[in-house]
Chains A and B, each alone.
Chain A
Amino acid sequence: MEPVIKLENFHKTYRNGAMEVKAVRGVSLEIRPGEFVAIMGSSGSGKSTMMNTIGCLDRPTDGRYLLDGVDVGRLNRDQLADLRNQKLGFVFQGFNLLSRTTALENVELPMLYSRPSIPTREQYKRAMDALGLVGLAERADHHPNQLSGGQQQRVAIARALVNQPKVLLADEPTGNLDTRTSIEVMGVFQSLNEQGITIVMVTHELDIASYARRKIVMRDGLIRSDEPVTRRLQAPEEIAKLEAEQRAIQLH
């Protein structure tokens, strides 16, 4: 199958006046449809920089990035916006929900900017479906501050999915979550991946990376290792184990 994401000798250099930071220095990478990739690496190794480019929030300084066969480096601001809207879903570490709107409205947000425009009724239906997918249909009217961290992250995932993207991108999606909610989010990711959605996720935590199928480690703006996950974890089992442990603690 053709890769959905293809980086060819990708460079990203930040320039602040005379200062030059080479954040990514020549990465070549192919990700095929249906993959679930975890990107790891120490702080400052260029993971977010690479994710931002894959997410069409930024363009390569050098090299090429092909999303679904389209050379992103040649696109203008509006075309990048349309790609983000149609082909990509982004989940950030800080949830990044609009705090004064309901979960439902947050999920509807990408559809406001869809071209051609989506009828209001259709927007509602699709947003409710997406919320249902992450198990939050009955919380549609809640505002983010009325939801737990894990629930907020699930709203963000629903928002990322609502336009049926090719790729779901997540930069440290569990960074602000406790163990149990982290596993729950991984459960959502795994089941989405089962349904065929391509997922690329940045994480610092080795066990979180183990829910993916493929693990890439970066260092100093380069890929250091790229291998399949050997002992893959399954979220339902891990939650069961966690509950057993908690029961054991309470019994003692």
Chain B
Amino acid sequence: MTTQSTYELPFKVDNAWCPGCGNFGILNTVKKTLAEIDIPQQNVVFSSGIGQAAKLPQYVHANYFNGLHGRALPVATAIKASNPELLVIAEGGDGDMYGEGGNHFLHTIRRNVDIVHLVHNNMIYGLTKGQASPTSQRGMVTPLQINGVSLEPANPLAVALSYGAGFIARVFSGDTKEMQEIISEAVKYKGYALIDIFPPCVSFNKINTYKWFKENTYYVSDDYDNTSFEQALGKAFEKEKLPMGILYKNPDQKKSFTEHLVAYKNNSKALYERTVNTKKLQELVDTI
């Protein structure tokens, strides 16, 4: 087992987040949780997009592919499919994952790729300085939506459920214990696992503040049955107060994306360990 300090960077980097940003809570808990999971550190890979949230992997001592805005999920999918041994964590903001990358969000769920999907849902665009995100509340005034947001906020949890996601959770960025438990469960889950996280953006979101999240969220009770799809769907549509915790965990685990791939039917090696079978290639040439 590794110790916590191993996920701490051995060198200094300049952190780009504002003091007090909810992202810090996520970063610390992610590092802490990983340190307690029994997996070689070299096998941990982050795939992130662009945004304040998407910078998280820069601050963790692990592998990462910090790619394009919105595109973390296809990258994560391919990493997992190319080496199923790796623990792949796709990570980014609500704009990144539910906006620019919305189509990938839908289809990654359908593929049931065995990854952990962390979304920092701060209900605003942080990096580009305060425009509305897909989850911004109606009426929120921003430097761009000067008369207030008029669009219906997206409901990522309901979308994920309806596209067949088997693991859905929500948590507040400051709740270390709960987040740790949820991430550990998501890592264990053999399939796509969505964790929608609320990190307040202290610089731009003056509505969904630390106080607002405290007052407008609650954790589902111990006797909540998170194996029930209907109950989970009900929770996803609750608006008065936003439910948190593991809201759905499908007990009938479907095969994951990599388990379906015929590339692994006769060969369990990761792609980088393979070479082309020249004998079979010559046979193909002879019979084409």
Task: Answer yes or no: do A and B interact.
Answer: no
Which residues of chain B have a CB within 8 Å of any CB of chain A?
none
> Contact residues of A with B, CB < 8 Å?
none
